[in-house]
Chain A
């Protein structure tokens, strides 16, 4: 694995904007960062792919154990959600995608940091922007990235259905991500329609959710966390399942960091897992504390000798924490990459690398394209 410095393509901003990556820069600099790239070997890509495949099915096994043991409180799952999760699990409701965040140095086996199984983003970057970057810069090289065609393939089973696509208002990244997923869905021959989360209506006569045209919403892709839906005013209507959401309710089990200690209990010393526990004690003074439901790397704290040496702020943590052994993060001149392996329709489909100068990857990290020979 190597990190290269690059000259960015001329007019790179315009190039990525043309393909939908309108949120390419932070206030402090580029988020889409083609001033660098990672070169991997085919063997390293195979290792990441195999790890993600194994981890996905370990997570499903662990979720089954949570269900059998009624460990709902352990994961901080609200009680009204439980019957819906169980039914969704039994039906094996359709799951489109997820993203594993892995630590990997090219030497030791990749280690699971977390599974973004409900509302993963950084999708346009991985599926589209770096694909076009590769065409322009390394056309003869390969890339771990069949995300686009795998998404289209996954949607095909919904031909004849109308699927609504929903995100919150006023967030270009979320809106563009959902628009991209609509794009892939349309290309699969499925009718789509947009509706913002805030605009979804509840029809009390018909007992159904409706869009702004008062048309019934039967299937809805939502870029909005399940735990938020359940806690909001309309959450009371979800128990009757008047709508089939994508991602499905059962993904609440996989997107929850409370699953990390369960995984370690079930599969101790698995090469792709880090020791993780419900308390800090087994890890001594060196560990990473993570809220069970945090996003954007929020409220994560890195402890050395029992003292927090690095911490991110945010609004999470009321639901409880898990404690994970720190991963050995590779260091390329002070840059720490995290390997986001995408799962589409239960199979690994691609890779997006984000890096940060901090040890905790947050929402100010940068996306770095990759290739392999």
Chain B
């Protein structure tokens, strides 16, 4: 016998559409999501450092001390004292996630695909 004993389709068949809905596709390491939780100073390249009490990313680490200013950075502002909070892990706001997605200036796209000239690669 040289033929497959059974051909089952889980994605391709219209009869099985959605079979994988709910499947965990994430292997999140460097992206922002409202479904995830992040600890203080979780860094996303291009977006910055997560400040858990403020549920958003900022350009400098949480409670970063500037020796020239003699001030601490937290939640997008400077203060004379470091910020105190019991929150060191949280889920980001939707607005923060959206902003992260739109501020990834270090990611460029469109560098592949130009050779196709809208033709299939059939061979």
B-binding residues in A (CB < 8 A): 17-20, 45, 49, 116, 118-122, 124, 127-128, 131-132, 134, 142-149, 162, 167-171, 173-174, 176, 179-180, 182-183, 186-187, 191-193, 196-206, 210, 213-216, 223-225, 228-229, 231-234, 237, 295-296, 315, 350, 363
Contact = CB atoms under 8 A, between A and B. Distances in A.
Contacts of A315: 117, 119
B14 A18 contact: yes
B7 interface: yes
Interface residues on B, range: 35 or more
Contacts of B33: 213
A68 B90 CA distance: 57
8 contacts: A20-B12, A128-B12, A169-B113, A170-B118, A180-B12, A214-B30, A232-B115, A296-B120
Contacts of B1: 142
Contacts of B117: 315
A145 B9 contact: no
B14 A191 contact: no
B45 A187 contact: no
A144 B11 contact: no
A149 B116 contact: no
Interface string B40-84: 000011100000000000000000000000000000000000000
Among A121, A142, A203, the one with the most B-chain Cβ atoms within 10 Å of its Cβ is A203
Contacts of B3: 131, 134, 142-146
Contact of B12 (A173, A179, A204): A179
Interface of B: 1-15, 20, 23-33, 44-46, 101, 104, 106-123
Contact of B112 (A132, A147, A198): A198
Among B11, B13, B33, B110, the one with the most A-chain Cβ atoms within 10 Å of its Cβ is B11
Contacts of B11: 179-180, 182-183, 186
Contacts of A162: 25, 27
A232 B115 CA distance: 7
Given A143-B3, A210-B30, A350-B2, 13 more contacts: A18-B14, A121-B122, A121-B123, A131-B7, A132-B7, A146-B4, A147-B4, A171-B121, A179-B11, A202-B107, A225-B121, A233-B112, A296-B122
A40 to B, nearest CB: 11
A298 to B, nearest CB: 9
Contacts of B44: 214
Q: Secondary structure of the A side of the interface?
A: mixed
Nearest to B13: A19
Contacts of B46: 203, 205
A170 B116 CA distance: 11
Q: Secondary structure of the B side of the interface?
A: loop
B4 A131 contact: yes
Contacts of B45: 203, 205-206
Nearest to A236: B111
Given A142-B1, A146-B2, A224-B112, A183 B123 contact: no
Given A20-B13, A149-B4, A183-B9, A200 B111 contact: yes
Among A202, A229, A350, the one with the most B-chain Cβ atoms within 10 Å of its Cβ is A202
Contacts of A295: 121-123
B14 to A, nearest CB: 5
Contacts of B28: 213, 215
B119 to A, nearest CB: 8
B75 to A, nearest CB: 23
A127 B24 CA distance: 28
A20 B123 contact: no
Given A193-B25, A363-B122, A202 B5 contact: no
